[in-house]
Amino acid sequence: MDAKSNDPSVPEDEDLLHASRFRVVRRYRRLPSGTVVAREIVEHPGAVTILPLVDDSHVCLIRNYRVAVGRALLELPAGTLEHGEDPTLCAERELVEETGYRAGRIERACEFFMSPGILNERMHLFVARDLVLGETELEEGEEIERAVVAWDEAMRLVRTGEVQDAKSLVGLLWHDGLLKGRSP
């Protein structure tokens, strides 16, 4: 429960930064002890990530240059939701933009928070099947290459730490658990 909502002695949120895809806010909250604490958080509109299954034994990953870490990461395709956008439509769009694949079927798998200690971003995982390859539609400034790998190779990349992106780890390990008969 958020104690702030009914307590006029708790300060209002403070906007610290507005960026094109997120904002940073200082949020105040009264703890059960009565102490008021401040936390800086990133508010994000949410995002999608897609597990593109090329066939029964291959998955499409991408090599995506990430400025924040100064190198390309091996990832599942993903993208930020536009305000009010349906996550399924966003997943379909991002799949085409980043991989060139169009999905005959796209199914919602699960949702999770990326880093709830500082960020409210909710990630929606989708599984894309019955893929048809076309041209990518990269946005200006994106440095992305398609990388189709065998499923066993994808799991090796996870085990060896070559896949370090959290959303990709969640998506790959979630699906691998299903393949091995474990419930998500």
- Residue 140: is its pLDDT beyond 70? yes
Q: Is the pLDDT of residue 9 over 90?
A: no
Decide: 25 and 39 in contact? Cβ < 8 Å. Answer: no
Q: Is the pLDDT of residue 25 over 90?
A: yes
pLDDT of 180 strictly over 60: yes
Residue 8 banded pLDDT, cuts 50, 70, 90: confident
Sequence-ordered list of residues with C-beta below 8 angstroms from that of 73, at least 6 positions apart, any chain = 63, 64, 66, 163, 164, 165, 168
Answer yes or no: are the C-beta atoms of 27 and 5 closer than 8 Å: no
* Ranges 7-11, 98-102, 166-170, 173-177: which has the least confidence: 7-11
Q: By percentage, how much of the chain surpasses pLDDT 70?
A: 96
The catalytic position among 121, 140, 145, 153 is: 140
Query: Of 178, 176, 170, which Cα lies nearest the Cα of 50?
Result: 170
pTM for the structure as a whole: 0.90
pLDDT of residue 44: 97
Domain with CATH 3.90.79.10 in the chain: 47-179
- What is the structure's pLDDT at 183? 57
Q: Is 140 a catalytic residue?
A: yes
Superfamily of domain 47-179: Nucleoside Triphosphate Pyrophosphohydrolase (3.90.79.10)
Average pLDDT over residues 63-78: 97
HSE-CB of 174 using CA atoms within 13 angstroms: 20
Q: Which two tokens stand for residue 24?
A: 């940073």
CB 47 within 8 A of CB 121: yes
Mean pLDDT in the chain?
A: 93
Identify whether the C-beta of residue 68 lies closer than 8 Å to the C-beta of residue 19: no
